[in-house]
Structures are given as structure tokens and as C-alpha cells.
Amino acid sequence: MIAEEDVKKTFAELVAIDSPSLGEREMADHIKKLFGELGIELIEDNSSQITGSTAGNLYGYVRGNGKAPILLSAHMDTVMPAFGKKAIFHSDGSITSDGTTVLGADDLSGITAIYEAVRYLKLHHIAHRDVELLFTTGEELYCKGAKAFDYTKIKAKSALVLDLSGRIGNAAYAAPTILSFEVSVQGKAAHAGFCPEDGIHAIKAVCEAIASLPQGHIDEGTTANIGMISGGDGINIVPEKCIVKGEIRSLSHEKAMEVAEKYRAMFLKSAACYGAQAEWIQQIDIKAYEIDPASKIIDEYKRALSQLDIVPNLSKTFGGSDNNVFAQNGIEGIVIATSMNNVHSCKEWANVSEIVQITKILICMTTYK
């Protein structure tokens, strides 16, 4: 039995710690202390020199029977508003913030479940497989910490990443490439009243390009969105500059690159038609992955759920996670639902019994024979 009061205590302690992206120092220290009390050393890497965080990633190895190690991972940072968080427990088992901040269940419910599962194994002297632990920084900033980690330290070939919304039993086995872009169109300023014909209207060139480009769902596995436009210096001046920012997501990396090229070509063409210049900058924030639904980690996950009478629901997600980075480093993982709902909002909520369920799933996975 997993004691709900233990889960509530651990979760409340974590929530009370301010841990915005790249400000994870206090959170890292607290997590090291928790696991240290179990006799497990979490080693902090030097990734902060790359990420700019106040802390590094935390890595630990829980030695078991030496069989098929599994990696359990969650991230330490939360989105804003994140200062002064507190967990409010309700009679129906739900947990919310006071409404002025996020709760931080994304991803503190995951950290809680990992800690409580390992604590249970230790306290009850339960035989288990080797378990590797990785708690990352800056995940909400396109996985900064995970990208800076040294994967030669990881022995596991499979992973559970605790970082998904939805009912317990949900798991994502595929996630997209996320490509962000910025277009800067340089026109020519002129007085809008006396001599507008002497100017080159950068905003108009941008708008014509946008009007001809698809937005939203390009196909069932690809989306594109222009989210920011800025330009102009005054209503009586022909705008000489306009900047556009957006993103492209696709479950196919090749498709994401194809759509990006279409966007780039259209902005350059539209700018040229007006005699303007266009500069295109793109960045691959994370790269798509998809694992075989018949893979070992999915089979083990389904078996664990069957022991707990939980129905599995495997799907593809349009959200990225550290698992995108793990996949690029030869680790076959899935992202599992971890009692985080309405994430990235002040209406975020979790549930005590769901965190207990996740803890039980991890125990089943780590004692899998």
C-alpha cells in the first residue's frame, strides 16, 4: 500500500519551492536531500555552464538485481507564474493552487511518483531491476537541460518519462519535430501622407505572404502557426521593417523541413515583389521520434497496467518532452500521463489517488521480471 499522506507531504513540499525554468537551484537541492535520505546519491552535472540555469541536471543509479536497467525521468522546472505556489488539497482528492499561480504538477507529480516508488522499494527491501534517475532543468525551454546532458552515463536502453496530461494509462510513443522561425523583411520608410510611393511597405509584403500560406493543420501530422508580427514606427510612416515569428510541428521531421522551405520561399518571393529584402532564420527546437508500438518498453508498460487493472491508451502527441532528446541518444522511451491537467495555466490540477496510481505503475515496472 502507498500511503496517500506520504504522497501529499512530498508533493506539497515540492510545490512550495519556486522552480522557474533556469532557476531550479532550490528544487535540485531539495530533491538531492530527499534521495540522500534513502541512501541514494544524485550527482549534479555541469550543464548549467551551457544552459545558464542555477542548477545542473541530477543523475542517480539505484542498484538492483543488475537486470535490464530502466530510466525514470522528470523535469524540475515549472512555467510561470510560479512564485509563491502552494498546494491546496480538496475533499474529493483533487489538488489545485490558490488560482494566482500554476500548481506545478507539470512536472512535480512526476518527481513525487518517482521518489515515492523508490522510497517504497527501499523501505520494504523489495527486489528490483537497476533503476537510473534523471531530473532535468529547463525542459519547458525546449529541453535545455536534457540537451546538455552527457548520455554516455546512461546504461538503460528504455525509459519512462513522466510528463503527459490526461487520464492515468495514457502514454505517447511519438512526438513531433518543433521548428521555430523568424522572418525579418526590410523595406523603405517614407512619409505616408506626402510621398507614400517612395516607400516600400514591409508589412504589406509580409501580409501577402501570410495570406497565401496555410495555417493550422497542414495534414493530420503537421501544423503551422504564425504567432507574432511586429513592425512600423508610426501611423504616418510607411513601415520599413516587419518581423514575423512562428512555428511548425510535424510528426515527420522531413515534412517539417518541407513546410519550412515552402514558408521561406514564399516570404522571400513576396518581399522581392515589393523590392524589399527578407532574412529567414529557423531553428529545430526538438526532433521528431516514433517508437514501435510492439517495443519492449510498451509491452512492459502494458503488463504493469494489467496488474493494476488500468486500461492503456497509446497515442501520438503534438507536445515535445525530454523524451525527444532521449530518442536522439539511443534510448527507447514513452511519455506517460502523470496527473497533470490544465497545465500551463493557473487552473492546473492534480489528484492524490492518481499520483498513487503512477507510483504503483513505477513499482510494477521496476520489479518487472
Q: Looking at the annotation, which residues are catalytic?
A: 77, 139
185 membership: H or E segment, kind and range: strand 177-186
Extended beta strands in 55-169, E state: 58-62, 70-75, 88-89, 94-96, 131-136, 158-164
H helix and E strand count, the chain: 10, 17
The grid coordinates of residue 3 equal 500511503
Contact 316, 143 (CB under 8 A): no
Angle between helical axes of 4-15 and 352-366 (0-180°, round to 10): 100
Rounded-to-integer distance, Cα 148 and Cα 56, Å? 9
DSSP secondary structure string, 114-141?
HHHHHHHHHHTT-----EEEEEES-TTT
Q: What angle do CA 237, 241, 243 make, to 5 degrees?
A: 135
Contact 224, 216 (CB under 8 A): yes
What are phi and psi for residue 6, nearest 5 degrees?
Answer: -65, -45
CB atoms within 10 A of CB 309: 6
